[in-house]
Structure 1
Amino acid sequence: MPKPLINDLPEEDRPREKLTKWGPQALSNAELIAIFLRVGVTGKSAIEVAQELLDTHGSLRSLGRANVKEIAKQHGVGPAKAAQISAAFELGLRSAKEEMNKASVASPKEIYTLMSPILSHQSCEKVFLLLVDTRLKHERTIELSHGSVTESICHPRDVLHHALLHQSYGFILIHNHPSGDASPSEADKRMTQAIREAAELMQLRFIDHLIIGSPNNHRDAYYSFREHGFFN
């Protein structure tokens, strides 16, 4: 028996109708993506095409990292629908950035909550600088570098330049590990040490360096140099 298409489903089970009645949180990832796809292909509903797209990329996180050409390769998607899906991820990213203004970053957990929506979908390493006021409230976010899959480049002068220019009380360094393992590399440790020494000379407060990965049963979502005693 052929599988039902979306129009064959009871009205209350269709993604758009469910979203209107219950809100977006009531929909699965596949159902949310299906709203952008609108229609499926012969023998497959938009929900099934959406689920295949998620299965191909392995997770919503990985799909968010994919570019339009990669998404468009999926049967039943194509360039136009791929552009809509990519735009949806970008809107979510920009919304997360707007939430930053004056957010508290007094603890590693708060820093992770603030930055993980921006960094968790990145396919290469990026380094961000958070400038904070005396109450440890976020003032400004600056992207310092855009590296390779396994390495980012950040020099102490780049960090101190922005902190001094904006007359900030202190700063926090954040970067991601696309592999998902937040454990610091030797290069991460050397970079942190060099920036700490430079900050001390300039009498700037280096609050923390956070590495963002992805959590699973065997690893943490982030690594905080402060929590591990580096700044004690």
Structure 2
Amino acid sequence: MASTSFKIRDFPQDERPRERLIKDGPDKLTNQELLAIILRTGTTKEPVLELSQRLLNHFEGLRMLTDATVEEITSISGIGKAKAAQILAALEIGRRINRLNFDDRYTIRSPQDGANYVMEEMRFLSQEHFVCLYLNTKNQVLHKQTVFIGSLNASIVHPREVVRP
């Protein structure tokens, strides 16, 4: 793809991110291009591809962006509440889709199954979380509850807090 200093309309029709997504599929686009599609427009001084790259640079990629608040996103010049809401909505849809396969009575047959069930949600947490999975007699998850949020590397929980729910 050509330099990002050009506006989208300066690109040939078949090199524009939206058209490439339709033609080649979303997996062929960079994070910058996908974010540019979500943002839709840049500013009068900055094309959308540059704005999306600056956003990714500010949050050091998608990972940190997933935890960003509206205030943090809108602190970036060129991103208002509407664009921040679009970004957060897209990220939440991704999270919900990722959880879909676990919502149909996921069965725990091993410790690895339990870890897999909570891994995506807990992978990047900055503090210890003590999470309980409550199962039925067929080892299917009925309920998941965070019982305690601890410090950076410890979580002290009394047994009654686990059994109470």
Shorter-chain TM-score bucket reads: 0.7 to 0.9
Supply the distance in 2 between the matched residues of 1:129 and 1:113 (Cα, whole angstroms): 14
On the 8 A contact 2:4/2:47 being kept in 1, the answer is: no
> 2:69 aligned with 1:67, yes or no?
yes
Distance verdict in 2 for CA 1:112–1:61, change over 3 Å: farther
Query: What is the CA RMSD across the aligned residues, in angstroms?
Result: 2.8
Select the residue among 33, 37, 40 that pairs with 1:38. 40
> 2:31 aligned with 1:29, yes or no?
yes
Q: Give aligned-pair identity as a percent.
A: 36
**TM-score computed with the length of structure 1 as normaliser:** 0.58
Aligned position for 1:93: 95
Q: Which whole-Å deviations, capped at 9, do the CAs of 1:74-124 have from their partners, x for residues lacking one?
A: 122111101111122222223333322223443454444432332345555
How far is the alpha carbon of 1:28 from its aligned partner? Answer: 1.7
1:1-232 equivalences in 2 (<5 Å) = 3-100=5-102, 101-120=104-123, 122=125, 125-146=128-149, 154-162=157-165
How far is the alpha carbon of 1:134 from its aligned partner? Answer: 4.7
Q: Which whole-Å deviations, capped at 9, do the CAs of 1:156-192 have from their partners, x for residues lacking one?
A: 2221122xxxxxxxxxxxxxxxxxxxxxxxxxxxxxx
* Unmatched 5+ stretches in structure 1: 163-232
Q: Which whole-Å deviations, capped at 9, do the CAs of 1:192-225 have from their partners, x for residues lacking one?
A: xxxxxxxxxxxxxxxxxxxxxxxxxxxxxxxxxx
Tell me which amino acid in the other structure corresponds to 2:23: K
On the 8 A contact 2:59/2:65 being kept in 1, the answer is: yes
Q: Which whole-Å deviations, capped at 9, do the CAs of 1:18-63 have from their partners, x for residues lacking one?
A: 2222332222222221112111124532122112111111131111
Supply the distance in 1 between the matched residues of 2:112 and 2:128 (Cα, whole angstroms): 20
Distance verdict in 2 for CA 1:159–1:76, change over 3 Å: same
* Unmatched 5+ stretches in structure 2: none
On the 8 A contact 1:129/1:141 being kept in 2, the answer is: yes
Supply the distance in 1 between the matched residues of 2:85 and 2:68 (Cα, whole angstroms): 11
Tell me which amino acid in the other structure corresponds to 2:106: A
On the 8 A contact 1:30/1:50 being kept in 2, the answer is: yes
Supply the distance in 1 between the matched residues of 2:119 and 2:143 (Cα, whole angstroms): 16
Task: From the two aligned structures, give the one with the greater strand fraction.
Answer: 1
